[in-house]
Structure 1
Amino acid sequence: MGNSTSSYDSPKPVKSLLQNQARIEKLTRFLEAKAEYEKTVEVFDGNGVDKHEQDKQSMKMLKGLFKKLDPRYETMKSIGEVSGEIQLSFKYDAEKEFLLVKVIKCRELRCGDIRSKTSSPYVKMDMYPDNHSQGSQLTKIVVDENNPVFSEIFSFKINEIEIIDNNLVIQVWDYDVVTQDDFLGEVIVRLQDFDFNKSPIHTAWYTLNMNTDLSVSGDLEISLTYKLPQQLYVTVHQATGLSPPDGQSSSSPFVKMTIPGTKSVYSSQVVRNCLDPQWNETFEFLVPQEELAFRYIVFHVVDENDSYGNSSLGQVILDLDTFDPEKGHHESYKLADLKNSEHLKNKTSQTATSQEFRESFMAHASIRHPQFLFQKESQTGKKVFTLTCRKAKCKGRIRAVDGILVA
């Protein structure tokens, strides 16, 4: 054969691959991870449990733990931090009895996932009540975009009488391929607010809120009397027609009440296994007469459950600006989920900030960092710090023991 070589045994050029060893290693890791993923999707353990499903649950638990410990991340559902707006347009076809809804776009959505700086949002819509069993309608998913544009039109069967009593529930969700989707906000559109005869098309921006429980029902009967100089007596008489929490046939309700700005918070007795409880309990608040013009009472009906935790059965907010101390007041009020009202949103925001601050201290205390915060003084380990907020132009003092906020 001499020095001649065949094309089959000629060495192939490998220079380009050898020069990019980092890329080869990255590609190898990717292929191994992909193969392992495809394997776990189909593999079941000895108990018949999908290993991939187990991995998803583990990731969900880890994600929840990270949310709890990382002071930079605020869980939207637990503390009510929802941001962003959605632009919607409505048109009613009276002849065909169809409500046309155009989901135009969203802006300044909050990222619902700790692993990325952007969300992959979609919009979900439901008619409430759903008299025609239409189910949910969903937009497309816009990947990696906090200002998504949808420009999609949907139709809902509804007649002119139903418009008076129906609401359209519009929710924005962040799609998550690994765990459950994250809630980004909600809008409850009251269809009775539209006058389609006067204006056939209604287009507006809506601020996203926390999710609202529309299943809340019932009435709360209360009365007020006043005695100078500052005794306000609040009597909780009864509640009727309460809706039990999901999965329960009854409830064990009690009423919590407070007047924000005062120090008193009261709770009535718990009435076991009852949806029409009677209390007839009276509580005293100290409110000077000149303060009635800007005070209000928050009544919160709560179901006590030691096994699953307490559940909200609805709220009533009673403004005292029109209260006549000489005549008193006695009336029944419809219960509703009012956590998105301005009164409760302000209160929730204050509570959330305080809770986030405590959790931040706990997270730092677990790793004892920064070190200067955890150096004990004398034998007590107590420290007093002055905190300054430049935006709010204020400062305050706070006490900590071994890095944990105590006052």
Structure 2
Amino acid sequence: MGARISQNASLEGDGRVRQDPERITDLTKYLAIKSEKSKSLVLKQDEKQEKEAQNVQMLRGMFKKLDPSVMKFVGDQRGDTQLSFKYDAERELLFLKVIKCRDLMVADLRSRSADPYMAYILKLLQYIFQIQMYPDPSGNGQKRTKVIHDTSNPRFDDIFYFGITEVEMAETMLLVQVWDSDTLGNDDFLGEVIIKMNTFNFRDCPIHTAWYTLNSETDLSISGGVEVSLDHQLPQRLFVTIHSATDLVTRDPGRQADPFVKITIPGLAVVHQTKVKKNTLNPVWEETFEFPIALDELAERYLVLHVVDHDRLTSNDSMGQIVIDLKDFDPDEGFHDHIQLSDLKNTDRLRNKWSRRAVSQEFHEALIAHSVSKQPSMLFQQHTGRKVVSVYCRKAGAEGKIRIVDGIPVF
């Protein structure tokens, strides 16, 4: 102990320790330097945290722009096909050019790509997705492209024509299906799109070329309808009465069904359901349900009726849906009608309702993963000047762009 003291100080005669001025100066300098380093580390840590917060803010902004809960959602995409249409009014011929496909979903997990061909069927339908008239009026029959092997982005450039008048085209839809050709077994369905020919104006624009998103298969065998009535009472009570259904069709022809109806209004947590009616294709319910909707909300709401065949042993089968837009509902007159059922699962409104929650969760989880892993790395770095970061997501059907000015995101 004595030796250690003698290195730093000496003893006075009264036993006090004499201070060493040089040592004190050195210690003062050391403490000052240490304090500066600590402050510098704290500042760097604060800058790092602030930078990471800004980067996460950038990510959050892009994800918000891509999030299907705030963007138009496309749904379960199976790829796209590019088609071109031309109509020869003089010869009454509709020409269709199958150009190409992109990002086709592989149906057979054993293979890395599909062998796609496309089938084109012209069907004259009296109602949308309801009545198929066979054969088609001009006997066009089914047409197929050549098979393109070992690719998920095939190019066909095949041209077909259909004999059809302008009057017939007003009530005609073209069913376009993409299949994966399998030489050892049955062909696998990859996706389809149904195109209403009355959406084209060939007089003003002789050629229409566009990309179409392929969807899951639409059940064109659905038939029957539901009798429904609506009544609104102030301040915010909407009453929906399900009276009956007629001429329902089951997945297994020749057997009866056990149908019930689910009634929902997207955006409301309330979900109603009728009783199950046993062994009938013409059920009668006469049940009334209430939804809390103010009068000024009707213009922004729509009602979804889903007829379901109840099955205790296996999963329930859909028998069709109805969408009633409440913006057309007049509370003073009420509403009472018999409405045809359709397979509407590929419509924007039902895809939004059924799929938005799951896909939104994927986006939120992806945001967390990107933040933790600090990817993409281009975001997690120092930015100078003006930059634009753009991300496109097919699943959300949206594009997110963020401007970065000297490291600060501008939304």
Q: Structure 2 length as normaliser, TM-score?
A: 0.61
Q: Is the 8 A contact 2:77 2:213 kept in 1?
A: no
Secondary structure, aligned partner of 1:321: helix
The Cα of 1:136 is off from its aligned counterpart by: 2.5
Kindly indicate whether residue 122 of structure 2 is the aligned counterpart of residue 127 of structure 1: yes
**C-alpha distance in 1, partners of 2:331/2:289?**
16
Q: What are the superposed Cα offsets for residues 261-315 of structure 1, whole Å, 9 maximum, x if unpaired?
A: 3232222123344433322110122234454332222101122345664322211
Indicate the larger mover: 303-312 or 279-288.
303-312
**C-alpha distance in 1, partners of 2:194/2:145?**
17
The Cα of 1:116 is off from its aligned counterpart by: 3.8
Kindly indicate whether residue 200 of structure 2 is the aligned counterpart of residue 194 of structure 1: yes
Q: What are the superposed Cα offsets for residues 131-151 of structure 1, whole Å, 9 maximum, x if unpaired?
A: 255442211121222221100
**C-alpha distance in 1, partners of 2:206/2:299?**
41
AA paired with 2:367?
R
Distance 1:94 1:306, change over 3 A: farther
Kindly indicate whether residue 96 of structure 2 is the aligned counterpart of residue 89 of structure 1: no
**C-alpha distance in 2, partners of 1:296/1:351?**
18
Q: What are the superposed Cα offsets for residues 357-380 of structure 1, whole Å, 9 maximum, x if unpaired?
A: 9xxxxxxxxxxxxxxxxxxxxxxx
Query: Which residue of the partner structure matches residue 23 of structure 1?
Result: none
**C-alpha distance in 2, partners of 1:216/1:275?**
12
Structure 2 residue ranges without an equivalent (≥5): 1-74, 124-132, 373-411
Kindly indicate whether residue 210 of structure 2 is the aligned counterpart of residue 204 of structure 1: yes
* Residue in structure 1 matching 2:351, options 342, 345, 348: 345
* Residue in structure 2 matching 1:389, options 366, 383, 392: 366
Indicate the larger mover: 243-252 or 211-220.
243-252
**C-alpha distance in 2, partners of 1:93/1:248?**
44
**C-alpha distance in 2, partners of 1:176/1:157?**
31
Query: Which residue of the partner structure matches residue 109 of structure 2?
Result: 114
Kindly indicate whether residue 317 of structure 2 is the aligned counterpart of residue 317 of structure 1: no
Distance 1:113 1:239, change over 3 A: same
Distance 1:211 1:314, change over 3 A: same
Query: Which residue of the partner structure matches residue 337 of structure 2?
Result: 331
Query: Which residue of the partner structure matches residue 172 of structure 2?
Result: 166
Query: Which residue of the partner structure matches residue 99 of structure 1?
Result: 94
* Residue in structure 1 matching 2:303, options 285, 297, 300: 297
**C-alpha distance in 2, partners of 1:341/1:217?**
18
Query: Which residue of the partner structure matches residue 232 of structure 2?
Result: 226
Query: Which residue of the partner structure matches residue 18 of structure 2?
Result: none
Query: Which residue of the partner structure matches residue 46 of structure 2?
Result: none
Distance 1:207 1:196, change over 3 A: same
Taking the TM superposition and a 5 Å limit, the aligned residue runs for 1:246-285 are 246-248=252-254, 250-285=256-291
AA paired with 2:168?
E
Distance 1:167 1:249, change over 3 A: farther
Kindly indicate whether residue 240 of structure 2 is the aligned counterpart of residue 245 of structure 1: no
Secondary structure, aligned partner of 1:389: helix
Indicate the larger mover: 334-343 or 124-133.
124-133
Greater RCO, CA 8 A, separation 6+: 2
Query: Which residue of the partner structure matches residue 52 of structure 1?
Result: none
Q: Is the 8 A contact 1:82 1:184 kept in 2?
A: no
The Cα of 1:226 is off from its aligned counterpart by: 2.3
**C-alpha distance in 1, partners of 2:197/2:252?**
27
* Residue in structure 2 matching 1:139, options 127, 135, 145: 145
The Cα of 1:82 is off from its aligned counterpart by: 2.4
Q: Is the 8 A contact 2:258 2:311 kept in 1?
A: yes
Query: Which residue of the partner structure matches residue 191 of structure 2?
Result: 185
Query: Which residue of the partner structure matches residue 40 of structure 2?
Result: none
Secondary structure, aligned partner of 2:263: strand
Indicate the larger mover: 217-226 or 177-186.
177-186
Distance 1:308 1:156, change over 3 A: farther
Q: How many residues align?
A: 286
Q: What are the superposed Cα offsets for residues 9-35 of structure 1, whole Å, 9 maximum, x if unpaired?
A: xxxxxxxxxxxxxxxxxxxxxxxxxxx
Larger radius of gyration: 2
**C-alpha distance in 2, partners of 1:339/1:248?**
25
Q: Is the 8 A contact 1:215 1:243 kept in 2?
A: yes
Q: What are the superposed Cα offsets for residues 52-101 of structure 1, whole Å, 9 maximum, x if unpaired?
A: xxxxxxxxxxxxxxxxxxxxxxxxxxxx7323221112223445443222
Query: Which residue of the partner structure matches residue 57 of structure 2?
Result: none
AA paired with 2:277?
V
The Cα of 1:171 is off from its aligned counterpart by: 0.8
AA paired with 1:223?
S
Indicate the larger mover: 293-302 or 241-250.
241-250
Indicate the larger mover: 136-145 or 290-299.
290-299
**C-alpha distance in 1, partners of 2:298/2:292?**
11
Indicate the larger mover: 239-248 or 161-170.
239-248
The Cα of 1:352 is off from its aligned counterpart by: 5.5
